[in-house]
Amino acid sequence: MDKLKSIIVVIEDDPQICRFLRTSLSANGFVLFEANTGEQGLVEIATRKPDLVILDLGLPRMDGITVIHKVREWSSVPIIVLSARSQEQDKITALDAGADDYLTKPFSIGELLARIRVTIRHINQFKQDSTETEFCEGDLRVDLSRRRVFIGKREIHLTPIEYRLLNTLIRHAGKVMTHRQLLLNVWGPAYVEHDHYVRIYMGQLRQKIETDSTQPRYLLTETGVGYRMAYNGL
């Protein structure tokens, strides 16, 4: 097996989708291992040590949310949920459980490939340098060691909470962060029911960072779910 190829474990019980993913992802240079139940999927993840997991939620016996919880007990492997469940609460539940991204069926293979590339690129970057001191995306540059933020050559002054919010999104760049996850990371457990805090401070942050806060380039909204820091244009 070519060790340079990224390994993906697909946990999906629909044979047609499995076949489609097998053909499409293999053609794009990924090595696939498949499981059609949650139990089999956990074994494949433990055995194959994949770079990424693609997971359906509607699995027989053990559903996808349970799989996420069990994986997160011992692994930080990126998980992209691929599900027919399109309700906002389903997305929030999966992301809060520990999924890194969520795509709704039917899906575009082009979008899935883009999400996979961003997720793997992000993980590899931080593996190479766990003491990452600078984040750059377009004209946005953040010196993480000195807590300084620039748009082009212009320095942007943030309040401590605005900076913590920005820093949290940067540390998870390319990943959807739910309102609950942001509240836990920025404000702490006592504030998890205060969704309006995130909206207020995100609005302030966009006013300072975005050229047009109504059409953000960096701080992207996942409607009804949370926010995501753009990463390499996505």
Give the tens place of pLDDT for each residue, 5-54: 889 999 999 999 999 999 999 999 999 999 999 999 999 999 999 999 99
Sign of torsion over alpha carbons 66, 71, 76, 80:
negative
What's the Cα-to-Cα distance from 19 to each of 23, 32, 55, 112, rounded to whole Å? Answer: 6, 11, 15, 15
Phi, psi of 224 (to 5 degrees): 75, -5
Residue 2 has pLDDT above 50, yes or no: no
Give the tens place of pLDDT for each residue, 158-215: 998 999 999 999 988 888 899 999 998 899 888 888 889 999 999 999 999 999 989 9
According to DSSP, the residues that pair with 20 across neighbouring strands are: none
